[in-house]
Amino acid sequence: MAESLSSVWVTKTASIGPSPAVETVWPAIDPKALPVKVRGGVAVLPTRPLSHYFLMSGPAVHAAYEDKVCQGITADGQLKLVDRSELARVLAERKLSLLGKDPLPRKPLIAADVTVLANVITDRAATYLRISAFHTPTASCIGMMRLPIDPARPEEFPVPLAKKVAQWWPGVLRNLVAAGSKPVWTLSDTSVVTGRADADADKSCAALQEALAAHKTIFFADPALIPLAQREVLMRMMGLARPLGARFTPAADYLLEFQQDTPEEIHLRLLRGRDRKLLAEKTFREKSSSAALSRAKAWLDSQVAAYPAKPRTAAGGVAEVSLAAAKKQARVEYERAMVLKKQRTELERTIDGQPEDKPTPEQAARLQRLKRQMRRHLTVACQQDPTWVEPARELLRCLPMAAAGPYPRFRENAEMSAQFIHRFPKHKDIDALMARVFFWYAELGRFVEDEHLRRLPGMGIPSGIDHKMEQKRCFRLALAWGKEYISRNIDHPDRRSNDLGWPFSMFLKIHRGRLMWYLRLDNVSEAEAREVVAEWAQAVDGHPEVVEHSDFLRLRCYVKKGKKQAYLKLLTAMQKRWPDPKDAQWKLAKEQVLNDLSEMFQVDQPGTSFYQWLHGKRGIGDLPYVGYKPPKESRKE
């Protein structure tokens, strides 16, 4: 790969959305480059919207993207396209997810040389179509193009999509040849920063990446091209990784670990990709960072020359990373994160002792960098050993410091906490986390519902979001998690098992309020409404001493929709089911029923048949009051 990193990326700013959107193309489009001749197959995976914002684009838009991408990559007639309908069917049967449960390795699913994955994503409130190409045998990224999307016109691009893909594709094929014939190298930064070494470490790491990319005898796979979790999913599709949680399985032939904890010292470790066997290790101590970097580059050149060919692997592509080696690496990453945590705690104490507890600009910058570094090491530890709870729990404690703005922060908190619950269902903090996930999703729904909040720039809510669809999605998730929390705690209503400061009775009240809010949404179908009410019934029915029966919720729904006859029919059936006014089922909800009847039929409570029935003055029936005759138009209700 002869290009340097500085020339590999081509970026262009487009004025779309609230902040500039940047077009990214790698490898750079070069009309003068000689084409390469290749034979084989290419698989275009179904487009899935990974974006949390871009929800107005339905299957039709995604299908249009797929068609244009296929047109662009087949324009040169070199690679044969894998049947897309058959591929979609197989993927649907496999039901792949980020947290796959199958403990056994799979055979490669896709018989193609190149796999193309197109996703709608968001980055800093801008929406993009990201098209990534991977060398299937090694899962190495061999090309990536990120095109800004205008939410108002999602199918329109400055250059037609099919033409843009066709211009980009020859560079992908050149990388395909390199990835298949040359050893694949990747570099990871494992530095534990301390103040002034931060900038030096970043510069040194970038310089080593550029040095690797400049070597013509290897293919440099930049791990930053695609998030590790998504790359892990792709590798599972290809049968190259054991689905044991979010562990990232490196696909490179050689892994170079870079560490610079002080400006004057650089430490490099070269590992074999398939089993993490240590091949070489060297520490460079000099009087300046530049001198240490110069020696590190020279050593790196010698290692590239020492390993000119791809290492032997087991049949079927990249071998599994040793589970023991992965767990060992997880311990190393966790220990580095704890060193950073100690430094962060000491810095925060120093800031707390300053006037008005305000950090200096230098302290604020270092604090943020320490948090980012700590989070990165914890993430890798979780990926290497998904069964180890300590780094996963510590990572959750880092979340409040993660994103800018309440909306992206709450969203990330909810998703990461939900993932933790799925992975560690017996953890002692599960109840507290469930309550928080309910709260975060409920707040997300409130954020997008409130027009004033949406317009606040600090909220982090991007333009282009379908507010009604997002509100419905967030409320639905909140209700699902709230139902799980209620089911776990309803037999112990006096136990306060959340850290929100809510007693269980308050949680029930808040959950019921959000449930009513969801049912009033105009884009909730009757089937969806019945589903959430059935979930509520499953959680609460049979506990009249704690919460009212689900039929009282159904009565409230009829009130909100103005269905008088349906209300009276259900209420009469409930009286027949619980004929004793002193039955526990009426204790918590009788005032609600009296208020409902007064609201709908404009009658004082003592004048209703239900009030008189409660006080033993009459029997069941004649609701809402004696002599009531329903209007003709309401007989159909």
Domain boundary among 398, 414, 439: 398
Q: Which of 321, 347, 370 is the last residue of a domain?
A: 321
pLDDT tens digits for range 25-40: 888 888 887 778 888 8
- Helix, strand or coil, per DSSP, at residue 559: helix
Q: Is residue 269 part of a domain?
A: yes
Same domain? 167 vs 63 = yes
Side-chain half-sphere exposure of 188, counting CA atoms within 13 A: 20
Same domain, 361 and 470: no
Joined together, the tokens standing for residue 158 give 């400055």
Q: Is residue 83 part of a domain?
A: yes
Domain residues for the domain of 39 are 5-321
User: By mean pLDDT, which of 187-201, 301-315, 480-494 is the weakest?
Assistant: 187-201
Among 260, 288, 321, the domain-final residue is 321
pTM of the prediction? 0.63
Both 32 and 128 in one domain: the answer is: yes
| Angle (nearest 5°) at CA 165 between 164 and 167 | 65
Strand runs (DSSP E) across 153-227, as ranges?
184-189, 219-220
Looking at the fold, whether 543 and 453 belong to one and the same domain comes out as: yes
User: Would you say residue 111 lies in a domain?
Assistant: yes
Same domain for 157 and 60: yes
Q: How far apart, in whole angstroms, are the C-alpha atoms of residue 586 and residue 573?
A: 13
Angstrom distance (rounded) from CA 586 to CA 590: 5
Using pLDDT thresholds of 50, 70 and 90, give the confidence band for residue 486: very high
Q: What is the pLDDT of residue 613?
A: 92
Closest CA to 290 of 193, 194, 204, 198: 204
Least confident of 408-417, 510-519, 593-602: 408-417
DSSP 206-247: HHHHHHHHH-TTSEE--GGGS-HHHHHHHHHHTT-S--SSS-
Q: How many CB atoms are located within 10 Å of the residue 106 CB?
A: 17
Kindly state whether residue 555 falls inside one of the protein's structural domains. no
pLDDT in tens, 46-102: 776 555 445 545 677 888 898 999 999 998 888 888 776 666 666 555 544 333 334
Cα angle 515, 468, 156; round to 5 = 155
Strand partners, 115: 43, 134
Are residues 281 and 407 part of one domain? no
**pLDDT 10s digits, 577-607:** 999 999 999 998 899 999 999 888 888 888 8
Q: Is residue 352 in a domain?
A: yes
Residue 509 sits in the same domain as residue 394? no
Asked whether residue 321 carries a pLDDT value surpassing 80, the answer given is no
Residue 558: inside a domain:
no
Residue 389 counted as domain residue:
yes
Q: Are residues 343 and 468 in the same domain?
A: no
Do the bridges between strand 10-14 and strand 40-44 make them parallel or antiparallel, or are there none, so unpaired?
Answer: unpaired
Is residue 474 a part of any domain in this protein?
Answer: yes
Q: Same domain for 290 and 348?
A: no
* Residues 389 and 300 occupy one common structural domain: no
Report percent pLDDT > 90 for the chain.
23
Helix pair 467-489, 430-449: axis angle to 10 deg? 160
Q: In what order do the strands lie in the sheet with 184-189?
A: 219-220, 184-189, 254-262, 265-272, 278-285
* Statement to judge: residues 543 and 576 lie in one domain: no
Overall number of domains in the chain: 4
Structure tokens at 47: 């487009």
Q: Do 394 and 465 belong together in one domain? A: no
